[in-house]
Structure 1
Amino acid sequence: MKRRTLFAAATAVATLALTVPAFAQETLKIGAVGPKTGPLAGGAAVSFWPNVQLWAHDVNEAGGITVGGTSYMVEIIEYDDQTNPGETIKAVQRLATQDEADFILAPYSTGLNIAAAPIFQRYGYPMVTHTAISDQIEDLSNKFPNMYFLLGGATGLAGGVVDVLTDMREAGEIGNRVAMVNVADAFGIELASVGKPQLEEAGFEIVYETSYPLGTQDLSPVINGAKDSNPDAFVAWSYPPDTFGLTEQAQIAGLAPKAFYTAVATAFPAYAGRFGAAAEGVLGAGGVYADGDQFKEYAARHEAVTGAKPDFWASAPTYATFEILHQAIEGAGSTDKEAVAEYIANNSFETVIGPVDWDENNSNAKYWTVGQWQGGVFKGVASTGRDGAVAAMPKSGWE
């Protein structure tokens, strides 16, 4: 567990002093915990850490978070949890008790969020998750009332995949045979458990099914087994390292169904960068309204500040959760955690992904479920109510 502290750029502080001299400048200590090492470090390096940097930059450049007559600059205290739930728990505990962080950003990934939730609740921190997907939302929100979910539930995410495959089947583009695999982590296990019955209820036949440990290096047995089943569609409830590994092995083995789906990291710019034209037609988790002005403006600012492009799914929701915290502090007119948590519970928010409000289980009801690489852009093709979806198309091999 390594600690790193980032503060506002000196130029931003100087500008603030010149432009708003009436406001006193103080600091809000914001904790950020996520993988910098371990199997999920690559995903966090795309979706989480750059948005922490961008948000702190944007807040401080604009003069801080204003509460009454006081402008609070943002100081980020970072911890690497090494993709280890025990380290996530220790880091959050340390932020709360030793660093005395005013607020703590939700961790990265489903499993690490669930592990940390009791600590957030114990110390009264609002926890607006950005990279957690679960059908345990009702139970979790009952246990941890300050916990919120922006990416929705596992059933909705899996249901989007089933809907897209059903549409492709009805269009005569694929048949009924599906090979389904999953990473043996909280995300993959839950998606497989809810995805299988939905596929079967929709009339699909699961002709191959297996799981593999997080961090598996050799995925050739998984892909070879899938190829031997002669599927019409391949569905992998995968995390970043294996999303890339499964795609690479599919190319090597010649597994090329008309519907090829991998989950987390399919939306990463690096996916298209690595696979080039072969990425065209690949389906994946999430998506965005890629042609919308709101996303384009955010993406341009993200690249200008961090030097990297955002992904086409979780990056914008991650930033949106930080916007929600910012708006809640200002809206509550207080830096008191309880007051801010209450404000989050009772209000809607305007964010980079559009309006966000909560259902009775503290979950955002409108979220993207499936995207597809089309023309070099990962575009949303299915959602639970977002605007801007485009039609999915069959994949034509790995050319």
Structure 2
Amino acid sequence: MSIYKTLSNGVTRRGFIKGAGAIAGGAAAALSVPASVRSAFAQGDDVIRVGFIGPRSGPLGVFGEGDAFLVEQFNSHMAEGVQVGDKRYGIQLVLADTQSDPVRASQVAKDLINGEAIDLMLASSTPETVNPVADACEAAGVPCLSTTAPWEAFYFGRGAKPGEPSPFKWTYHFCFGVGNFAKLYADQWTKVETNKKVGVLLPNDADGNAIRGLLLPELEKAGFTIVDSGPYENGTADFSTQINTFRDEGCEIFNTFPFPPDFPVFWRQAAQKGLAQQIKICQLAKAGLFPAELEAMGSLGYGLHAGAYWHKLFPFSSPSTGMSSRVIAEGYEVSVGKQWNQQVGANASLLDAAVAALAGSGKPKDKAALAQALSVLKAETAVGPIDFTAGPVPNCATTGVVGVQWVKASEGPWEFDLPIVSNADHPFVPTTANMTAYTVQG
């Protein structure tokens, strides 16, 4: 019976998470190879060890909430291993939690490299995770594949220079970039009539600096007037200065790329000081990705706008887990007991790309051969096709983004719904609703 059919007939929570507890524990928790793999493959040369690093606790911990579910599905679907040439290999995932700390991300990467004999490293979720892990792998000569951080933050944020050869041999990344946001916003922001004046709140970090240097000029070229309040430090508790600037400048569009815990602080203050009542489009990135964030804001969350790098209605499937996008979302909700979120599909795509690279390497235990396979990787994933031969720069491939809007759900068990309102950057994904202006409720 297929997983999709099982879900449609009523899947049980136990059926999805019977092995999920393996993630709990210390810095690195090895998830055991399934019994069928243990019986078919000897440990050592016949088993590929794959490190999988992400924030599973701390301020960014929400990004990793679906990992236990995904790993269980991966272990089940890949129980017979991966065929590479005329040989079949088992795959063992070894997980590590960064605790949302870049310093720890670097350390656990080194721990997996030096203590766990990793053949391939995977990393996901924001530059604070991806960049230090990639740097550790680059220094150690270990192939690394990552996602969910703007590719510019990965590439230029780690020292690469425009127009110069790539300084990276071992580290590869696929994700959206500034060009995706520029295309998305230029379309999405025409869905509601505004004065095209944009208040921009960007932190002093890798994401904020990349967006400030690259996205803002593109938005100006598209006809928007940018009001940049300047860099701020993550964890700021008082945004009065920025709010007053945006309000006094008459901004009707607001755009931000903050740490998730910082946005509710800002937006509550914006409502208290009258800015939220002035804003017609409140566009979030990095924050506003997860239902729990919106639920914590109550009615202030109704109508907020965002981009989605994965959605349950994406017309793509995950080869490494054997699930369609909709089934991934349904399975996550049953397993975790929370509404689906974007990252569960993005992390599924990372596993998809990893399996495709292993299969295409010819020699998955040979690090140079695996790095070469990553450099020319073309793969179908849960977020759509990825192609490292198409650029935009060496070591990076791009994926599309759609525009979405958080609205009060009209039915079902969850408080919010997330219709797709713009698809200019990802035309294979259909829109499902018309975008409306943000209005403070109550």
Provide TM-score, normalisation by structure 1.
Answer: 0.83
Which residue in the other structure is 1:78 paired with?
96
Map 1:140-219 to 2 at 5 A.
142-165=166-189, 167-168=190-191, 173-207=193-227, 209-219=229-239
For 1:326 and 1:153, locate their aligned partners in 2 and report how far apart those are by CA, in whole Å.
24
Which residue in the other structure is 2:141 paired with?
124
- Cα 1:147–1:49 change in 2 (3 A) is farther
For 2:168 and 2:419, locate their aligned partners in 1 and report how far apart those are by CA, in whole Å.
34
Question: Quick check: 1:264–1:284 contact (8 Å CA) kept in 2?
Answer: no
For 2:423 and 2:258, locate their aligned partners in 1 and report how far apart those are by CA, in whole Å.
18
1:29 is aligned to 2:49? yes
1:296 is aligned to 2:329? no
For 1:369 and 1:193, locate their aligned partners in 2 and report how far apart those are by CA, in whole Å.
22
Question: Quick check: 2:28–2:96 contact (8 Å CA) kept in 1?
Answer: yes
Question: Quick check: 2:119–2:143 contact (8 Å CA) kept in 1?
Answer: no
- Cα 1:161–1:73 change in 2 (3 A) is same
Which residue in the other structure is 2:401 paired with?
368
The one-letter code sitting in structure 2 at the alignment partner of 1:302 is Y
Which residue in the other structure is 1:323 paired with?
352
The one-letter code sitting in structure 1 at the alignment partner of 2:105 is T
**Deviation by residue 1:112-167 (Cα, 9 ceiling, x = unmatched):** 423333321233333222122143647378111443332222243244223322x2
The one-letter code sitting in structure 1 at the alignment partner of 2:376 is N
> Deviation at 1:110?
1.6
**Aligned Cα RMSD in Å?**
3.0
For 1:147 and 1:383, locate their aligned partners in 2 and report how far apart those are by CA, in whole Å.
30
Which residue in the other structure is 1:247 paired with?
267
**Deviation by residue 1:37-91 (Cα, 9 ceiling, x = unmatched):** 5xxx333x2223522x23321232231533455552524241435423x332222
Which residue in the other structure is 1:65 paired with?
81
What percentage of aligned pairs have identical amino acids? Answer: 19
- SS where residue 439 of structure 2 aligns? coil
Aligned residues: 381
- Cα 1:75–1:315 change in 2 (3 A) is closer
**Deviation by residue 1:347-368 (Cα, 9 ceiling, x = unmatched):** 4212222222222324334410
**Deviation by residue 1:263-282 (Cα, 9 ceiling, x = unmatched):** 11312111332234543321
The one-letter code sitting in structure 1 at the alignment partner of 2:53 is V
For 1:260 and 1:340, locate their aligned partners in 2 and report how far apart those are by CA, in whole Å.
42
Gaps in structure 2 of 5+ consecutive residues: 1-24, 316-323, 410-415
The one-letter code sitting in structure 1 at the alignment partner of 2:32 is A
Which residue in the other structure is 2:7 paired with?
none
1:349 is aligned to 2:379? yes
The one-letter code sitting in structure 2 at the alignment partner of 1:396 is T
The one-letter code sitting in structure 1 at the alignment partner of 2:406 is W
Question: Quick check: 1:132–1:151 contact (8 Å CA) kept in 2?
Answer: yes
The one-letter code sitting in structure 2 at the alignment partner of 1:60 is N
Map 1:102-121 to 2 at 5 A.
102-121=119-138
- Cα 1:363–1:289 change in 2 (3 A) is same
**Deviation by residue 1:3-30 (Cα, 9 ceiling, x = unmatched):** 2314238xx52xx27xx96x22535433
1:340 is aligned to 2:370? yes
For 2:225 and 2:91, locate their aligned partners in 1 and report how far apart those are by CA, in whole Å.
55
> Deviation at 1:33?
3.0
Which residue in the other structure is 1:237 paired with?
257
For 1:50 and 1:240, locate their aligned partners in 2 and report how far apart those are by CA, in whole Å.
17
Gaps in structure 1 of 5+ consecutive residues: none
For 1:244 and 1:389, locate their aligned partners in 2 and report how far apart those are by CA, in whole Å.
30
- SS where residue 395 of structure 1 aligns? coil
- Cα 1:304–1:29 change in 2 (3 A) is farther
The one-letter code sitting in structure 1 at the alignment partner of 2:347 is T
> Deviation at 1:175?
0.9
For 1:123 and 1:153, locate their aligned partners in 2 and report how far apart those are by CA, in whole Å.
27
For 1:310 and 1:125, locate their aligned partners in 2 and report how far apart those are by CA, in whole Å.
33
- Cα 1:156–1:352 change in 2 (3 A) is closer
Which residue in the other structure is 1:267 paired with?
289
Question: Quick check: 2:28–2:97 contact (8 Å CA) kept in 1?
Answer: yes
For 1:157 and 1:180, locate their aligned partners in 2 and report how far apart those are by CA, in whole Å.
14
> Deviation at 1:260?
1.0
Which residue in the other structure is 1:99 paired with?
116
